[in-house]
Amino acid sequence: MEQVGYKLVTDTDEIIQTWGGAWGQCPAVPNPIICPNGDVVYSPEVDVVYNGVKLVPWMMDGPPVPQQVPMWAVRTVLQNDNLFDQAQAAITASTDNGLKNVWEYGNFADRNSKAIASLATELGLTDAQVDQMFFDANSLEV
């Protein structure tokens, strides 16, 4: 796990505010913090309770899913996973022109795009499988 920032949380772990959150870019301890009751705490310490809230490290289990990968890499991963022919057939049969255009002419695939969601549905892929496809595609080199 890697620290990516800080969270201001209640005693029930409700998040009040966050700082950071980008993989590999943990900011310094925020100074000051403002408690929900309006109190200002200068030079706060981590894991110390201030008026019912405390500053805690924000940890991530692993790197974030790449949000954009080259289409050639998506096609390569589909080939490596023996899904290319099934994808090609699903796209050919689809009435979704956006999906067809991304497949034929797109330079990049966006993880949260309608086209990728449509293709994943056609192939019966779970969100975790699509995430892994994006990790795999991102790791390929020309």
Rounded Cα–Cα distance for residues 90 and 6 (Å): 44
The pLDDT of residue 1: 73
- Per-residue pLDDT reduced to its tens digit, 79-114: 999 999 999 999 999 898 988 999 999 999 999 898
Per-residue model confidence (pLDDT) at position 65: 86
pLDDT bracket for residue 21 (50, 70, 90): confident
Write down the residue that tokens 């080199």 correspond to: 141
Helical pair 114-123 and 84-93, crossing angle rounded to 10 deg: 110
Q: Helices 71-80 and 84-93: crossing angle, nearest 10°? A: 120
Only one residue has tokens 């301890």, namely: 29
pLDDT tens digits, 30-82: 999 999 999 999 999 999 999 999 999 998 877 788 999 999 999 999 999 99
> DSSP secondary-structure letter at 107?
S
Residue 9 has pLDDT above 90, yes or no: yes
pLDDT number for residue 79: 97
Alpha-carbon torsion, ordered 115, 119, 125, 127, to 10 deg = 0
How high is the pLDDT of residue 4?
A: 86
Residues 6+ apart with CB under 8 A from 82: none
pLDDT at 134 over 90: yes
**What pLDDT, on a 0 to 100 scale, did the predictor assign at position 62?**
77
Contact status, residue 130 vs residue 77, Cβ threshold 8 Å: no
Give me the residue spans of the domains in the chain. Answer: 2-60, 68-139
For residue 24, name the pLDDT band (cuts at 50, 70, 90).
confident
pLDDT recorded at residue 2: 82
Alpha-carbon dihedral sign for residues 52, 57, 58, 59: negative
